[in-house]
Every structure is written in structure tokens, then in C-alpha cells.
Amino acid sequence: MLDLLKKPDIKALLFDGNIGLEKENIRVHRDGYMTLTPHPFGNKAKHPYIITDFSESQVEIGTIVCNNPDEVYDQLENLHDIVTTTISVEYSEPEFLWPISNPPLFNSGEEIPIAEYDDENIEKHRYREYLAEKYGKEIMLYSGIHFNYSFNLKLIDRIHHELGRTDDIKYLKSEMYMRLAKNCYMYSWFPVVMTAASPVFHGTFMDEGEEVGGGRFLGYSSMRNSKYGYWNKEQLYLDYKSLDTYIDSVVDLVQSGKLYSSAEFYTPVRIKPKGKYLMKNLRDGGVNHIELRMFDLNPLDKNGMAKADMKLIEYFLIYLSTLPDFDYTPELQELSFKNHLASSAYDLDSGFITLNGKTQTIKEASLEFIGRMREFFTLMEHEDALGCLDEAELRVRDQSRLYSHIVYEGIKKEGYVRFGIHRALHALRLSNEKYYLLKGFEDMELSTQALIKACLKLGVTYEVLDRKDNFIRLTREGHTEYVKQATKTSKDNCASILLMRNKYLSKKLLTENGINAPDGRLYCEPEEAYNDYEYYAGKQIVLKPNFSNFGSGINIFKNGFSKEDYIAAVDMAFSRSNEIIIEDYFDGEDYRFLVIGNEVQAVSKRIPASVTGDGISTIKELILKKRHHPLRGEGHTRPLGFIGMGAEEELHLKMHGMSFMSVPNKDEVIYLRNNANVSTGGDSIDCTDVVHPSYKELALRAAKSVNAVFCGVDIVAKNIKEPMSDDNYTVPELNFNPSIKLHCYPSVGQGRPIGETVVRFLFDGLL
Amino acid sequence: MLDLLKKPDIKALLFDGNIGLEKENIRVHRDGYMTLTPHPFGNKAKHPYIITDFSESQVEIGTIVCNNPDEVYDQLENLHDIVTTTISVEYSEPEFLWPISNPPLFNSGEEIPIAEYDDENIEKHRYREYLAEKYGKEIMLYSGIHFNYSFNLKLIDRIHHELGRTDDIKYLKSEMYMRLAKNCYMYSWFPVVMTAASPVFHGTFMDEGEEVGGGRFLGYSSMRNSKYGYWNKEQLYLDYKSLDTYIDSVVDLVQSGKLYSSAEFYTPVRIKPKGKYLMKNLRDGGVNHIELRMFDLNPLDKNGMAKADMKLIEYFLIYLSTLPDFDYTPELQELSFKNHLASSAYDLDSGFITLNGKTQTIKEASLEFIGRMREFFTLMEHEDALGCLDEAELRVRDQSRLYSHIVYEGIKKEGYVRFGIHRALHALRLSNEKYYLLKGFEDMELSTQALIKACLKLGVTYEVLDRKDNFIRLTREGHTEYVKQATKTSKDNCASILLMRNKYLSKKLLTENGINAPDGRLYCEPEEAYNDYEYYAGKQIVLKPNFSNFGSGINIFKNGFSKEDYIAAVDMAFSRSNEIIIEDYFDGEDYRFLVIGNEVQAVSKRIPASVTGDGISTIKELILKKRHHPLRGEGHTRPLGFIGMGAEEELHLKMHGMSFMSVPNKDEVIYLRNNANVSTGGDSIDCTDVVHPSYKELALRAAKSVNAVFCGVDIVAKNIKEPMSDDNYTVPELNFNPSIKLHCYPSVGQGRPIGETVVRFLFDGLL
């Protein structure tokens, strides 16, 4: 077997399994009491990412299936960030995620709200009532993390081939999963040792034990995994000879009435099918993955579980999957359950594990097991796994490094409630810090990140089809939408898009529809434009490409210009597009109205790239300094763009008698461009609530003039707060791919959740 | 006044008036008999370009309003080409346009079919019955050309300003048009002299006169303009003092019952409003243009009127518009009518014109008038006008150069019917020669030309919005469609377009929908692709850009390849796109299925660019020779593309052990590329009627998989005539902007009228 696993391609596949996580947290108020508010993430029976567990106040997040711990950690963090930031502002009183597996404060068991469901899913509520009746509501508040693991399907294929087997591959698959599951049962005590983090609980939950920091302590590192955990009323024994016998024995337990359903079979390990956890699915489709259920919330990690532990667990599972098969007898089942309970002892030297007839302290057993794992990963020459094991060994040898001990000390010092709330507040602060980024998607445009974030929140499944192209597929209940760059969707028709892309035609249609647009001419050849210099000399004009985007290649001449400057600006525009426009300049402030459907969703005032002098630095130095702003970056992955130092900025400075080497006076504002796009270093100020309604009506009419559904309407206005009139505004262009980040993350003012608006619009229609 | 007209901007405006033409022809069979078939161009009451005049067999074409004679000649030619080529194939028996103003053969006046109208427009039919009753059907068959002329509105503005007038501009406009109209009446004899071309008629029309070539001659150059023309039963006199008095006097004539309507007032000149020719419109909106109605069809010109004559008429009108006002008394009205009739004398020396109390021969009067015009255009320093006048003078001095004389001689030699039919056949031959081109639109893509041609034929008005962008607007009865590059329309949604544009995603969706697509990988960085050389070595692969179009940047390796070749191909693909695909090569023949809506409209087999050896020439020489083919050209304005001599062709030859300097054997076919796009010099063979229906069904499913409405489905098949099966085809890509010229103008096989298909689809929905 080991020879097989050392083949490079098989080894690669062995280490290329899949991971998915589920995590529960109770929602609490600042005072540590669980909240009684309704779940704020829509239909909990249908949401693919954010639902409730037993209680209405118990948020459960589930990641998509990921390829590795890095990815799953990112996914966990994204969902955690969305939930924490949402509940912190959703209700009149801020809410937080209680970061400890043991429950927060509550007034009485009576008060604990069972999760509510609509009529269609009333069965889910009934099952919870049955559990409350049978086990009591309090114990249902234990919250933890489930770690789901599946093999790479190609690994099973390859082994099947290497073993020369000719039977259906599904048999080997069942065998491999059953073998892994049994070994997981045998060694389920080890992950508990490594991840236990709930030594202390509150007296409102259980009035027993020694007082620690206002809470209680019973000598366990993890209450959930101790005898006080959430177990079946009696030990149940199953037939693990084959997948079929296993399924039969679960079905027997349900039919005999000992279990409500397979879901009531509480074990640290579950053998799971694809789809709902029904024995029928397991019988029909075979095993899809293994679920480990023993992990405590780790209050020391922002998201509830350390990435290092995810890695350790994956290596643990990889190792177990290479162990030989054995007969998992009722005796061994009883033994492994005892070992599991024993592993929750707070002191690794005073708890005992019995294996192969040998009883050792938890520490001894752990060290021996780590040693055996190390042998395997040494043979596999896997450095990262060995590093993980070194780290694990350190923690076992020095118990003060165990989470349970650190948490115990923290609670002792701060008190149970304050410790939990402080960790929750700290996590929320971290979540808010780079609020615009979505982990694992940082290479994609910020607008697309905002859209995916909205999907996670609103329960729409997403698939990234082409990262570089920012092309995603969204699905909800059989309804599919394709979206590129956040606003290119099925809702707009091709002709509208092309009309908006052609700025000259946009203006023509605006004008035909009675909307002011700057009077201008279209040029297909530079010479034609050169020849018209005399016509423009003395006027205030804008020269711009007919087809480009993001404000590149635009020059505005307000105060006279030489033929040389004019030709340079013509050439600059032609370098971006095969047609250019020269049009009248209209003096006013620059606004972007975001139209989606029949509504203006947001309005931003846009200010051209600028620096403010300090009396010492050159403009170049000021530009470079401004680049350090955390919201600024290159490309479309940051809310604001860098200020460029190219030909356009140089020409602009020259027109104002300056260069990059000029030193502005202190507090003097120097503009680097005339166009105000944030992508060329400009700033955006949210004005959604202050613009006069007549301008919103104008923006809607402008979008309608080209039949646009998603449309960025640029309006230059004298005073946006006064009613629109025939001579106080112009509409220089329409944008078919309007930036949403401009409105989500303005430099100044309230950000607008346009990502959510887009998703709602795509799936629910007009808003 | 002359000083005013010499101001450069006013002079420019004076020469920048507008022209529109209407032309009638009777449809005839090869034997010269008028046809009795129905008008083949749709609803004649609503078609903006092609209607009928009096008779069902009398086609009337009307151009849009044009800026100059060149443009209006092109427009006339386009419509003429469409009508002639259509009627030559529309019916079981070919039909032609009778090129002479005098009628063709007909069996009896009874037989002449009056134009039929639907119930909504039954009034038009009734009016024609009234005319038939009053004047006889025969005379209604006279066909001619009406020349409509309007001033540049800015000219009227400028003159109004220069004259310091403060009244409403509409008064000056009326004055200018009334003055021009009166002068047109006074000099209407002159254009008759210059353009008369119907000296001979047939005995079936009128059994009088001297026999010439089987026809009859009465000594007139133009029967229509002679006393045998189409005039009111009595001379009618009007009050030309002002526009209002003029309108009043026409209204009086109608109310007194002398005229059925203003349309029955037959004069060589009409004062016309915008829209329908109703006095109400003239009263409300003023004069829109002047209509000159005296022009004979010129059988010597392919399209019925020489461009030189259009110029001469424009200069004639410009000159008249500068003459002073005068009182157009009933005496002068009588005189001008007499002069008009007199001008139709065949011999310019034996007819007389009386002006200002002086009677001269037509020749003398013409020469004097040309002399006065020459004075004016000399003052205006207008070379082109002077050239035109020189030419006119030549014709007046040497009568044998007059059309009427040339036509007379022709008929005398060939016979009336044969002369007419020969001219018609000659014109048809010219129309068919560059059948794919649309005059005045040669710079636009051929696909867009085909679409505009379809609009002209089907009666959809078009407007070119951006020539370089090939962006047009089509309108029919209030329904507007925007079209770019012939197939980018409002019918496709933005997301579908983007899915097709991304070839990698197209294949993903095809595969998800159970359609074979080549297995492949997407690369965002050249290095990633370089690193996979070993993986591909020995396979047959296609390397192509993920986003480009028209087959550029594609390489196919079928017979092994070095790493060097591989890297070159990767770089070539990356030079066209920021993502590339490397996919399995599938051996088969390359077909393009054009899907529009729910139907496959055409199928073409595509063959890569190739040359056939002659045993002497190098490949380079053979390529250059092939470029002379009349259907080939650069860009998208010719049915077939040039074969390139770039890096891709060079690499292809190298892979086959050749270079551009190799000399192929006689009849040896050398392929220059592996991809078969016509734009890279390939050939297309129409296969619409031979492909197995299962492939059409496949193409529809393929288009559906991305929700495409307009879709070019590329299918590589082993044998397109056999039923499709899982292993005999692949679909390498979908095209959101499929070429329609490929199907309209194949190298081999039947062309498909896809331009018309597109227009019908846009306006009438699914076909």
C-alpha cells in the first residue's frame, strides 16, 4: 500500500482531498445574553451558506467544498465576516457571535427560541421540538464546528486501477470511506485533545463545578466532548462490516423508535451521502464524505478555528485513510466512545486512553500517535505535515499551549462573559478592517467581490467561471444568471450596450430624447481633427476617445490652448480609440448616477485626482505619498485608484504652468486631471440622499433613451441640490459597465450595498 | 444680392441644397409587353422606397433626401439594382424595367392593371379609377423622373440675418421658394431641351405619326412634355402673389370640382410641403421643397438619369433661386406653359421659345440662357458648374448629341421594343456585376451593406449612425431597431454575448448541455502554457486566443511539433488575447451554422486559405495572384478575404516543410492555414440544403446553451450528410457576431438572402 501511495501522481491525489466546514455560533448582545431576534439571513431552509441550527439565535454557516485548508479558511472567514458585520448593524441593538462552544447567558431554558420555519419546512421545527422535549433546550445550545472531508475521486480511480480490480468503483469507494470512518472512531480522541477550547461554562447553563471567572469548571477541556456533551440516551451499536450492513443497522434503530431519524445518532463521526443526510441517499449514491463533529469553537481565532488545526485535521485524516481495515466490533465501539469521553480531561496527565489493550495517559497516547503519524509523513516526505506535527507535539508536551488552557486562563482573568464578548468585539473589528475585500478573491475586481459577497449573504450560489474575465454564474432555486464585471448581465440587450459604448451615439440619442448632451463632433482620422483647430481655438472643449472607458485619454481645455497642445490631446485620444469626440466643455460638478432597472440606486460626486501641497514636497512626491492610502491601489481591486504620472497628467500640469517637479504651497490643492474617474485617482463622495429628485428623474430618462437596464449616467451639474433646468446641466456620457465599487466604497459618505442590489435585481426583478 | 452670395459661408450653403428623386418604370417581359403580375415589394402604401404609381405594373422608386448629385445617383442606382435584380428572378417569367418614358407594348387599354391597395388605402385605388375614367389608362403609363430640391435651411437663416430681417424666418422661406417656383415655371422649357429622351412610341399606345423602327414619331423629343402629354383638361391659372394666395387658388379649384385634389394639378413644377401633398400641410408647415416633374427616363443611362444631368439641374435651380422676384400673371402662366410644350420639338431649330417679348428658336433661347447661367457661375467662380454648362452647350449646338436624337437613332436601327429590351438587359447585367456592393456604402462592412440593401427592398427606413462602427438604426412604423455589424442587435442579451465571446466558457456550457466540445485548458500566463509542453507533445492540438475573432492567432499542430514551434504558437495566441486555450484537435470538415432565432438559416462549409500550384510560381506568387480575384479584398468589404503572408502562414508552411519561396507542383493544393475563416483567405461552400437535419438540431441546441438568438455555431464533422452521433463531431466555438456575407456570397453554391432574413426577424419576430 505504501509503495502505491509513494507514486507521485497517487501521492499528489492523496493530498488533494476536499474540505468543507460548518460552524455554529449563538448570537448575543453586548451583555452576553443570547438574543431573541429572528435570524436575519432569509429563508433558512434554502440558504446555501447561512442557516440556523437548533435555536433561532444559533447561526450556522457552511462553506462550499474547498480544495485545501487555505481556501476553506478564507471561505469560513468570508461568511464569518458577513455574519458578524451584518448582525452588528442589523438590529436596533448590536449583536455579536458568541465565540465559545459553551452557551452564553440566558434567563431561562424556557426563553431559548427554537428555530422557526415556514409551512413548507415545518417538519424541521417539529424535529427541534422533539429534541427539546427529549434532551432539553439548554444542551442544544452547545455550538461547534463540523469538518467534512472527501477523497479526490481520481485517487479512488487510480487505486482501483493499481489494485487491478475490475468490480464497480463504487465498492472500493465504500470500502475506503468505511475504513476511514472506523479509524476516525478509533482515534476521535486525538482531535479533541488538540482542539478542545471550552473548559468553562456559565452557571445559568449548569449549576455545578468550581467557580472560575464567574463561570463554572468541571475539569474538562471541552464540555461538548465530555460526558456532559450531547449524546444519545444510550450507547448504540452498529454493524460496520460494510456500508450496507451499516445502513441497515441505522435504519433498524430508527424503525425501532430509538432514533427519530439518522440525524439523532450523535457520534463524533458521521458517514454522509451527497445531499440530505438520509440513509436512502447513502444507499443510492454511496458515501460522499466523512464528517468530524468534535471541534470546539476556538475563541482565540478570529473565525473560530485556526488554519493550523485545519491542516492538522486534514493530515490526521490522510494518515487514517492509509491504515489497514479491521473489524469494528461492539466492544471496540464502546472502547472508542470511552476514549473519546476521556480525551476531554483538562489535564492530559490525568486522563487515560486505552488502545490495543494498552492504557496510557492522554499525553502518552497523543505523543505515541503523533510519532506514528510522523513516521508516515516522513516516508511520504511531506514537510508541511511534519511541521504541523512538531507544533502539535509542542502543545501536548507543554499543556499551557493548549487552547483549553489559554481560554481557561483568559476567563479566569477577564471573567466568562467579558472574555467572550471581548473576543467577539476583537473579531468584529478585524472583520470591519478590510471590509471591501473578499478572501480568496482578491485578484478579482472589487465590484465582482462585492457581488459574490452579496451572494454569500443573500443565499445565492455562485461559481467563478473565469477569474481573469471576472465572469461568474449565480444560481438560486433553478434560476441561473451569468454576470461579468458585476453589471454586465442578461438584463441588458446587446444593442443598448453598444449604443452606450459609442459615446457619440449615446449623445445623439440623449439629444433626440430631449436631454442636454454636449454638442460635439466625431472624428475618424487625426488629420480631420487637426484641421479643425481654428474652429475650436478660444472655446472650452473636451477631447476624448469615442470608445474607451475609465476616463483614459481625456483632455479638457478650459483656458486657451496652442495647436501643439491640441494635437497632443487629439493623438492621446486616438491612442485609445479609432474614433474620437471633441465637444463643448460644460462647467459644473461631476456626478455619477447609478441606474438599475427603474431606479437610481446611488449617486456619487466625483472629484478629479488631486494632491494637497505641504510647502516642501514636489507634486511627484505628493502623488507617491498619496499612493500609500489603504483604500488606493492599481487596477480594480481597491476602492480607489492610484494617481498616474503619465502623459495626461503631465499635459494637465503644463496647461496650468506646472510640472511634476513643482512644489505647491501648503494646503494648495493641485488637480492632476480634469476627468473625475476614481480609476484615474479621483475621489468619490456619496450624494445619493442630497441630489434634487429632478436629477434622478433625468438619469432614469437618460438610461431609457438607450433602453439600458444597468446604466451609469454621468451628469455635470451647476448645483445638484437645485431643480434641474434646461441650462444648468449636461449629460456627457452613459456607461454600460458602471463601477459599483464607487458607490459601495466612496471616499466620503455612506457606502451603498450595491452588490446586494444587483443580486436582488437579478433574482427578484425590479426593486 | 450677388455680394451676399459671394460670402464664402453663404456661397457654400447655396451649393449645399438637398436632392431627392422619384422614378417610375413599367415592368415588362422579355417580349416588351407590360406584365400583369402583382407588385413584389410589399405594402405599397407604406414602403418608403419602392411603391407603384398609377398602374400595378408601374414601379416607382424614391430615394432618401441626399446632399449632392453623387449621393442621389448612388441611391437611385441602389434602388434600381434592387428592383431590377429582384424582378428578374421573382416570377416564373423574368421581368425587366422598361427604360423609356413612353409605354411598352400592351394588348389593350382594358388590360392595364390599376394599382391595387388594401382596405386601409382603398382611397388610393379609387383616385386611380377616377383618373382612368377621366384621362384614359393609356396616358397614365407615361413614366418619368421627378427631381425634388430643397434649400439648405442654414442658407435661409443666414440670408435672413444678412438682410437684417426681424420677421419670422418662415416668411423668407416662403418667399424664396415661391420665387424659385415661379422662375422654374418660366424656364421649365430648358430642362426639357436637355433631358428629353422619348421621341418614339408604339402604335399600341397611339396610332399616329411616322413609322420609325416599328414605332411612331410625331416630331417631338419628349412625348410627355408635348401637347400629347399628361395635362389638365383646361389651362388652370393660379394666384402666385404669395404662398397663401397660391394655396387659396388651388383650394378653390378643388372645391369648384375642377380638380379631384391638388395631386390632379399637372404642372412641370410643384410647390410641396413636408409629408403628404396636401394644401393643409403646405399652409401649416410652409414649403419643404420644389418638385420638377419634366424629366424623361434616359434609356442611355443604366439607372434612367445621367449624373451629369442631375448636376446640371441642381445648378439650374441654384441659378434660378438667385433671380429677382416678379409678378407671375395669368399671361405669364400661359406663356410659360406654351414655351414648355414648344420645348419638346425634336428639332431645336424648328421650335420657338418666347421670353420677355422676344421669340427665338429653342437653340437660340437655350444658348442665351446657358450664357446667362455661365455669367453667374463665373462670378461665383464655380468650375464644376461651368464645366456642366460647356457640356450642355455642346449638346445644344450639336443636336446629334441630345438624348432624344441618340434614342431616335437607336430605335430606328434596332426597333422600338428591341432597343428598350436591350437597354434593360444591359442595365440588369450591370446591376448583377457587383451584386454584393451597395453604392455609397462601400466603406462599410459587406454584412451591413447587405442589411441596408434588405431594408431598401423590404421597406424599412435606415439611418447610418456611425459608418466606421457599422452602426445603423432601422425603423418601420414606429418600431426602431439598432444594429451593429449586421448581427449585434437588441435580440441578444449582454450575458449571452459575453459567454460566446469567451470561447472557454462557451465550451463549458456546451459540454454541460451534452454537446461535444474539444477538451482543453485555459491559460492566463504564457509561462503556464510553456510548462505544459510535455503534456501536449505527441498529441494533436489547437492553440487559440480565448477572445479573438476571425481566426487570427490560431495554430493547429497535427503531426508533432517542437517546443520551439509550440512556444511560438502560444505567443501568437497571447498576442491576440490575454487568455488562450489549448485544446484537442478534432479531425473533420469545418462548417458554420448560422442560427437566427429558432432556425438554422444557412450552413457553409469552410475551407482554409489555399493556393493551387502551376509548377512554376512560388507560393508567394500564387498568393499574390489569387488576390486579384474580384470577390477578394482586405477587411470586410469584399465577400472573400485576402490570403495573408504573416507569421501564422509562415509557421504553417514550415510545419509542412515549406516556405513562401517553395514552388508547388502543378495542381498541387497548398494550404496556408489550418483555420478556415474566409476573413483569413478561406473559401466558403453553401451546404444549407445538404446537411443532415440532426446537425441543424444540434446547432439550435448549441445556440440555446448560451441563450443566443444570433449565433454562428462552428461544427467540425466527419460527414455532415450522415446523422450526428456522439463521436463524429465537435463544436469548437460559438460566434456572437457571425458573418452573414459568408452565406450571402459563398465562393461556391447558392447565396442566401440573410440580410433580408435579419430584417424580417427584427421586425416580424421569429421566422
**Cell reading at A641:** 485608484
Q: Does A664 score more than 90 pLDDT?
A: yes
Confidence of residue A549 (pLDDT cuts 50, 70, 90): low
Nearest to B249, CA basis, from A168, A649, B240, A85? B240
Confidence of residue A433 (pLDDT cuts 50, 70, 90): confident
Calculate mean pLDDT across residues B359-387: 97
Q: Which amino acid is at A120?
A: E
Return the residue of B nearest to A501 by Cα: B469
Nearest to B219, CA basis, from B390, B346, B64? B346
Please tell me the distance in Å from A505's CA to the nearest CA on chain B: 7
Q: Which amino acid is at A342?
A: A
Q: Does B767 score more than 60 pLDDT?
A: no
- Which residues of chain A have a CB within 8 Å of the CB of B513? none
Confidence of residue B384 (pLDDT cuts 50, 70, 90): very high
Q: Are A95 and A29 in contact (CB under 8 A)?
A: yes
Q: Does B556 score more than 90 pLDDT?
A: no
Q: Which of A494, A505, A506 would best serve as a mutation to test chain B binding (most B beta carbons within 10 A)?
A: A494
Say whether residue B506 is in contact with chain A using an 8 A CB cutoff. Answer: no
Write the CA distances from A371 to A363, A364, A399, integer angstroms: 12, 10, 18
Q: Given an 8 Å threshold on Cβ–Cβ distance, is A489 in contact with B508?
A: no
- Which residues of chain A have a CB within 8 Å of the CB of B488? 494-495, 498
- Which residues of chain A have a CB within 8 Å of the CB of B494? 488-494, 497, 736
Say whether residue B496 is in contact with chain A using an 8 A CB cutoff. Answer: yes
Share of chain B above pLDDT 90, in %: 83
Nearest to A655, CA basis, from A647, A644, A667? A647
Q: Given an 8 Å threshold on Cβ–Cβ distance, is B468 in contact with A502?
A: no
Q: Given an 8 Å threshold on Cβ–Cβ distance, is B466 in contact with A579?
A: yes
Calculate mean pLDDT across residues B97-108: 96
- Which residues of chain B have a CB within 8 Å of the CB of A481? 495
- Which residues of chain A have a CB within 8 Å of the CB of B497? 494, 497
Q: Given an 8 Å threshold on Cβ–Cβ distance, is A493 in contact with B496?
A: no
Calculate mean pLDDT across residues A240-262: 92
Write the CA distances from B547 to B60, B581, B584, integer angstroms: 47, 10, 18
Please tell me the distance in Å from B501's CA to the nearest CA on chain A: 11
Return the residue of A nearest to B736 by Cα: A494
Q: Give the distance from CA B570 to its chain's centroid.
A: 45
pLDDT of residue B4: 87
Say whether residue B492 is in contact with chain A using an 8 A CB cutoff. Answer: yes
- Which residues of chain B have a CB within 8 Å of the CB of A736? 494
pLDDT in tens, B167-222: 999 999 999 999 999 999 999 999 999 999 999 999 999 999 999 999 999 999 99
Share of chain B above pLDDT 70, in %: 99
Three-state secondary-structure class, residue B279: helix
Q: Given an 8 Å threshold on Cβ–Cβ distance, is A488 in contact with B494?
A: yes
Calculate mean pLDDT across residues A526-554: 87
Smallest Cβ–Cβ distance between A492 and the set B466, B483, B493 belongs to: B493
Q: Are B682 and B676 in contact (CB under 8 A)?
A: yes
pLDDT of residue B93: 95
Confidence of residue A614 (pLDDT cuts 50, 70, 90): very high
Q: Does B263 score more than 90 pLDDT?
A: no
Q: Given an 8 Å threshold on Cβ–Cβ distance, is A493 in contact with B490?
A: yes
Is the complex ipTM more than 0.85? Answer: yes
pLDDT of residue B549: 64
Q: Does A550 score more than 80 pLDDT?
A: no
**Cell reading at B589:** 470538415
- Which residues of chain A have a CB within 8 Å of the CB of B498? 471, 482, 484, 488
Say whether residue A697 is in contact with chain B using an 8 A CB cutoff. Answer: no
Q: Does B427 score more than 70 pLDDT?
A: yes
Smallest Cβ–Cβ distance between A524 and the set B468, B504, B522 belongs to: B468
- Which residues of chain B have a CB within 8 Å of the CB of A524? 467-468
Q: Does A638 score more than 80 pLDDT?
A: no
Nearest to B347, CA basis, from B400, B389, B409? B400
Q: Are A254 and A222 in contact (CB under 8 A)?
A: no
The least confident of A296-300, B88-92, B435-439, B472-476 is B435-439
DSSP one-letter string for A488-502: B-TTSBHHHHHHHHS
- Which residues of chain B have a CB within 8 Å of the CB of A466? 502, 504-505, 522, 579
Q: Given an 8 Å threshold on Cβ–Cβ distance, is A466 in contact with B505?
A: yes
Please tell me the distance in Å from B508's CA to the nearest CA on chain A: 9
Say whether residue B451 is in contact with chain A using an 8 A CB cutoff. Answer: no
CB atoms within 10 A of CB A589: 17
Q: Given an 8 Å threshold on Cβ–Cβ distance, is A522 in contact with B466?
A: yes
**Cell reading at B157:** 437663416
Half-sphere exposure of A508 (CA within 13 A, CB side): 18
Return the residue of A nearest to B522 by Cα: A466
Q: Given an 8 Å threshold on Cβ–Cβ distance, is A471 in contact with B502?
A: yes
- Which residues of chain B have a CB within 8 Å of the CB of A577? none
Q: Which of A487, A498, A508, A546 would best serve as a mutation to test chain B binding (most B beta carbons within 10 A)?
A: A498
Say whether residue A277 is in contact with chain B using an 8 A CB cutoff. Answer: no
Q: Where are the beta strands (DSSP E) in B389-478?
A: 461-466, 471-476
Q: Are B104 and B415 in contact (CB under 8 A)?
A: no
- Which residues of chain B have a CB within 8 Å of the CB of A501? none
Confidence of residue A203 (pLDDT cuts 50, 70, 90): very high
pLDDT in tens, B510-543: 999 999 999 999 999 999 999 999 999 989 999 9
The least confident of A290-294, A345-349, B398-402, B557-561 is B557-561
For chain B, give the mean pLDDT. 93
Say whether residue A497 is in contact with chain B using an 8 A CB cutoff. Answer: yes
A210-212 sheet: strands from edge to edge: A200-201, A215-217, A210-212
Q: Does A230 score more than 90 pLDDT?
A: no
Please tell me the distance in Å from B64's CA to the nearest CA on chain A: 20
Say whether residue B448 is in contact with chain A using an 8 A CB cutoff. Answer: no
DSSP one-letter string for B312-377: HHHHHHHHHHTSPP----HHHHHHHHHHHHHTTBSSTTT-EEEETTEEEEHHHHHHHHHHHHHHHH
Identify any residues that bridge with A671 across adjacent strands, giving them in sequence order: A610
Q: Which of B494, B501, B535, B578 would best serve as a mutation to test chain A binding (most A beta carbons within 10 A)?
A: B494
Confidence of residue B647 (pLDDT cuts 50, 70, 90): confident
Smallest Cβ–Cβ distance between B492 and the set A489, A491, A493 belongs to: A493
Share of chain A above pLDDT 90, in %: 83
Please tell me the distance in Å from A497's CA to the nearest CA on chain B: 7
Q: Given an 8 Å threshold on Cβ–Cβ distance, is B493 in contact with A490?
A: yes
Say whether residue B490 is in contact with chain A using an 8 A CB cutoff. Answer: yes
Smallest Cβ–Cβ distance between A494 and the set B468, B497, B504 belongs to: B497
Q: Given an 8 Å threshold on Cβ–Cβ distance, is B498 in contact with A488?
A: yes
**In whole angstroms, what is the distance from residue A345 CA to residue A219 CA?**
6
- Which residues of chain A have a CB within 8 Å of the CB of B596? none
Phi first, then psi: give them for residue B375, nearest 5 degrees: -55, -45
Looking up cell 456642366 gives: B388
pLDDT of residue A551: 64
Q: CB contacts < 8 Å between A and B, how many? A: 92
Q: Which of residues 553-612 of A touch B (CB under 8 A)?
A: 578-579
**In whole angstroms, what is the distance from residue B225 CA to residue B195 CA?**
11
pLDDT in tens, A49-87: 999 999 999 999 999 999 999 999 999 999 999 999 999
Say whether residue B243 is in contact with chain A using an 8 A CB cutoff. Answer: no
Calculate mean pLDDT across residues B308-330: 96
**In whole angstroms, what is the distance from residue B577 CA to residue B451 CA?**
30
Say whether residue A340 is in contact with chain B using an 8 A CB cutoff. Answer: no
The percent helix, strand, coil of chain B (3-state, each to 5) is 40, 20, 40
Q: Given an 8 Å threshold on Cβ–Cβ distance, is B482 in contact with A469?
A: no
pLDDT of residue B550: 63
pLDDT in tens, B579-625: 999 999 999 999 999 999 999 999 999 999 999 999 999 999 999 99
